[in-house]
Amino acid sequence: MDALELVEIKAQEIAVRIWNPRAPRTLIAWHGLARHGGDFEGLARELGPGWRVIAPDTPGRGLSSWPLFPAHDYLYERYMQVALALLDHYRLTSVAWLGTSMGGLLGMLLAASELGHRRIERLVINDVGPEIEQEGLADLASYFGVPHYFPTFGALLNELKAHYTGFGIDDEGTWRRLALDSARRMPDGTWTFHYDPRIAEQFVHDTPRDMWAEWRAIRCPLMVVRGEFSPLLSEATVKRMGRIHPDMAAVTAKGCGHAPLLDRAEQVTPIREFLERSGSTSSHSSRPAGWWQRLRHRLATNRGPS
């Protein structure tokens, strides 16, 4: 990470991790349910110095604020508001978006929405789609529905290795970095994960649904990455996605489940090629937001929770 910026949106502090801040092109990278923007360090390294990677921590994760009203704030509608406010803050009228799991669903919702469809120039979704395998979804809900505490840091590390085997990590250094970025020490000396345990309330108040209508509504260039052994995104769903959008690019991340970490050349090279295809990609220096977008951002950040 080359920079950490703290952006206030509706009385919440959103931590934004940035790599290559002076690069000519920009990619928004949004993480999964219980992760944070730090997961994209490897992606930024592999994409190279030509890309500024902006990776926010969703409220309740990483270094961002924990909302006072989880039932009100741990909803895709609220995440969309945060995302649009961040695009306004960075004066991005249209930007490439890469989302892992929850971040991919958020990108889909934005790209299909009235307010967001012009803001997503092209979309990469990592191991998620408009239809999610119910067994895999139930496993996620049950796992994150209860707090996890560990007597030692080593125990937390071992749990990460067991639960996130689908990331496809094959070296101890990456596991240690993941653990360091994922751990939070409790007052009694035990360890837990970085996120608010109440993020799982999203499964109660914002149950994932069939999103095929939104998928059909998307008009920007599309790419889907699927983990070879993904329990959430089936091959049949990817094929149906491709029938609806025949120009969709599709890549299988070998040896991965849910969700590929996107930290190695064989995964990132096709993503870079997709992002750099002919057609516009966002430039933070040449495509500033208009005055009406800056005004909307100021109103959104000063209004507070509604």
Per-residue model confidence as pLDDT tens digits over 186-216 = 999 999 999 999 998 888 877 667 899 999 9
Residues spanned by the domain of 25: 3-130+210-303
Percentage of the chain with pLDDT > 90?
Answer: 80
Per-residue model confidence (pLDDT) at position 207: 67
Tell me, yes or no, whether 179 lies in a domain.
Answer: no
Tell me, yes or no, whether 197 lies in a domain.
Answer: no
User: Quick one: which H or E segment has residue 111?
Assistant: helix 102-112
Tell me, yes or no, whether 47 lies in a domain.
Answer: yes
Helical spans, DSSP H, in 123-164: 134-144, 153-163
Look at residues 255, 220, 250 and name the one whose alpha carbon lies nearest to residue 235.
250
- At residue 300, does pLDDT exceed 60? no
Name the β-bridge partners of 150: 191
Q: What is the CATH number of the domain that holds 248?
A: 3.40.50.1820
Per-residue model confidence as pLDDT tens digits over 55-84 = 999 999 999 999 999 988 999 999 999 999
Domains identified in the chain, total number: 1
Tell me, yes or no, whether 18 lies in a domain.
Answer: yes
Output the CA angle 60-66-70, nearest 5 degrees.
85
**What does the pLDDT average to over 77-95?**
97
Per-residue model confidence as pLDDT tens digits over 110-145 = 999 999 999 999 999 999 999 999 888 888 888 988
Tell me, yes or no, whether 203 lies in a domain.
Answer: no
- At residue 92, does pLDDT exceed 50? yes
User: Strand, helix or coil at 53?
Assistant: strand
Tell me, yes or no, whether 147 lies in a domain.
Answer: no
Tell me, yes or no, whether 115 lies in a domain.
Answer: yes
Tell me, yes or no, whether 86 lies in a domain.
Answer: yes
Per-residue model confidence as pLDDT tens digits over 206-242 = 766 789 999 999 999 999 999 999 999 999 999 999 9
d(CA 2, CA 306): 34
Average pLDDT across the chain, whole number: 90
d(CA 237, CA 161): 28
The pTM is what? 0.90
